[in-house]
Chain A
Amino acid sequence: MTDKEIKMMLKNAYVVPETEKEKKFVRKYEERSLQLSSIIKMEFKYMGLKSILTGAVLVALLLMAAGTEDTDMVWVIASFVPACVLTPMVLLSRSERFGMEELEAASRFSLRFIRIVRMFILGMFSLVLLFSVGIILRITATASVMDHMMLVVFPYLVSAYGAMLVTRKWHGKENIFGVLAVCVFGGLLPYAERAIRLSGQSANNIILLLIAMTLGAMFRESKLYVKESENLSWNLS
């Protein structure tokens, strides 16, 4: 392509900013609107088939186990629930892992907006997962609400919080290993609870308190995660 052709194409493609016609700029600005559905669609798409399938298989295993009356099996499978955090967590660290944070931060709807969308997806995913597992446990395994809280909700929330913390503090591609470690820790929690129960003690009140504290910590972490996008100082080499 010759320089002349490039210039011709450029003239057609590049609408020259109206340096003296500021009203036109304002009008153009007002015409632009947020393509929220496009962003959410693209974010979901980028969660990737493998990641979604892994999450689906884990959930299916849990639901199958919950359907049996073998309580030992429920304990074992409950330890896999925290690993489901990996599915939405892939999104949370996506910009940093692929080095897109600068481009996104300099866009009109900015990294802050993208992070809010990702937090929204994480929240929705978690709600659907925990709610559906809770219902199945209630219907099929005659598990109490407290069992659901202790076996499923608490380990999952601890994993989600830990993964959020790792994602915010550790920006490299390697943060996935940190998130994996957190998931393993979350997966061990049902066993710890089992040990407490077998010793004849009740940890129900403590667990409820810990759930409330974890939720508070998650809320704080979400705020910091979104706020951090306004100043990418950590990004400087």
Chain B
Amino acid sequence: MELILNQVTKQYPGTVAVDRISADLRPGVIGLLGSNGAGKTTLMRMICGIIKPTSGTICFRYGNDTLNASDEMYRDALGYLPQDFGYYPNFTGREFLMYMAALKGIDKGTAKRKCEELLKIVSLEKAANKKIKSYSGGMKQRLGIAQAVLNDPKILILDEPTAGLDPKERVRFRNLIAELGKDAIVILSTHIVSDVEHIADRIIMMKEGNIIFDGRGTDIREDLESFYLRSFGGEEDE
């Protein structure tokens, strides 16, 4: 099972958001690091098939079959947590998960069971019947995480997943990601080094739409944070 990015480019008038990126991604946690505007979110959106690359291809290979990012079956294998996303405020947490389950094609019985289990995992079982508009930022983020894993994804894309989580939740979430990364391709985009340094099997650093580092954290001789800061010329605070 591998996700293959081949010369993926996204160009907008006057700017190249992602510039000819190629990578073979295999099961494990892949930390995608980069400052704001590095092209991480654009790349994530292309991997999710919600925006089309200007050139290049993205495909998911399993066994002898290859799926393109625009295929329905590809999306069936996908779990996605966008960076900034909203919710229908009048849905309750449970209704929201059931809605997402319906869109993911999960049958009602399985969806109900999965929703209950995931609400427990993200500690929202008590707030499950409350409307989302009454949720705190952290609760919304946890609900977003729950919907992302609802369909047992093989490719899990998490864009700044720890935003809005308190330090305790952040640690819990990291453990959860590490567990998921054992058998799925988990791409975790962040500009916070500590989010990925202990759990990522592979680190990809992006700057101005290009990959400036691709390897294991252990390949870096110095501390990852120092390396990251040096790579970005001290432009990041984190």
Contact = CB atoms under 8 A, between A and B. Distances in A.
B152 A15 contact: yes
13 contacts: A3-B172, A13-B120, A14-B152, A16-B183, A22-B63, A39-B103, A102-B80, A108-B75, A108-B103, A108-B104, A232-B50, A235-B51, A236-B12
A9 B113 CA distance: 13
A115 interface: no
A195 B99 CA distance: 49
B42 A236 contact: yes
Contact of A9 (B42, B90, B121): B121
B79 to A, nearest CB: 8
Interface of A: 1, 3, 6-7, 9-10, 12-17, 19, 22, 25, 29, 31-35, 38-39, 42, 46, 48, 94, 98-100, 102-110, 113-114, 230-233, 235-236
A151 B75 CA distance: 46
B103 A13 contact: no
Given A17-B184, A25-B62, A32-B76, A3 B85 contact: no
B17 A236 contact: yes
Nearest to B90: A46
A35 B80 contact: no
B154 A17 contact: yes
A9 B117 contact: yes
B127 to A, nearest CB: 15
Nearest to B78: A106
B51 A231 contact: yes
Given A32-B106, A94-B88, A231 B52 contact: yes
A65 to B, nearest CB: 33
A109 B104 CA distance: 6
A128 to B, nearest CB: 24
